[in-house]
Structure 1
Amino acid sequence: MAIRLIVQNPDPVLREVAKEVTKFNSNLHKLLKDMAETMYDAEGVGLAAPQVGISKRVIVVDIGEESSLIEMVNPEIVERDGEQFGPEGCLSILNLNGDVRRAEKVRVRGQDRNGQFFEVETEGFLARAFQHEVDHLNGILFIDLAEELYDGSARDRRNSDEE
């Protein structure tokens, strides 16, 4: 495992639509491990492969309190319900936070590290984290959706950041 460099906005990889993963092999497994280690090292709650410079549809999420590490390959949000509004930040956009509207509940379908399909149905903060990370795979950053942006340098990232 290795901690990877987190790409910062305005790096062009953050604006690309990431490519679908078709090979479920040791390279993918290493990427997932490295992404998780990088996320934990940065005290984030989610990370998408484009954030480490890899334009592939791969995310890791761990908000701590209600779930453990979730690895998802080729994730797709297949259902959204309700609405929540709250602060987000991003490991690729340091010292900036914003208030973003998201679905309160989501159902996400994707594959595990071996290519097996599975779904996650969740709500609240974990639903927000999934939406934030899937947006990364489509070249969308939280700053594109924020209704208000503000200095996030004084905030505790573990409580306000999506990543």
Structure 2
Amino acid sequence: MSQDKSAPPKENPSGIPSILVAEADAKLCSSIKDYLDQKNYCTTAVADGPQAVTALTKGRFDLAILSMETAYEIGLEVLSETAKMHPEFKFIITSKKPTADSIAECMKRGAFDYLTIPFGDEELAKAVDEALGNKKIVEEDEIADSKHVEKHQEITSMMEEKRVFYPP
């Protein structure tokens, strides 16, 4: 399900999660993208923060994997801007040189997870699955809430019409 690097997905009717990968290291970017493609995700890869901002404003993504090394300030700007535009998006930050301050700042700005480079396939898969799984849980909760509201309205209506059967 590879996506052309310059063409972010407009819509995703197939339900396959779309993931943006923003990484300055071309080899690492390609490795992450290839791995996600093998897992049947729709992926778009970009090399820096400005390209990531452009992709996020033009396309629809379920998850973004952003490198802090792309540019520290631009990376945080990407997080902030995307969180403002679409609070339901999840973000995973990767870094070769994490610090307690950078981790705290990214989490404060809305990052779902923070991976230290190098990381293995299992660690990436777990972070991606958890990020996308949480999105699915939120959607399921919203559906359950709407069903609960409908049932409550139905019962209230029945009570008003005195169609409720009480035990003898």
TM beyond 0.5: no
Structure with more strand by fraction:
1
Between structure 1 and structure 2, the one with the greater Rg is: 2
Q: What is the TM-score when the length of structure 2 is the normalising length?
A: 0.32
Q: What is the TM-score when the length of structure 1 is the normalising length?
A: 0.32
- Structure number with greater CO (CA < 8 Å, separation at least 6) is 1
Structure with more helix by fraction:
2
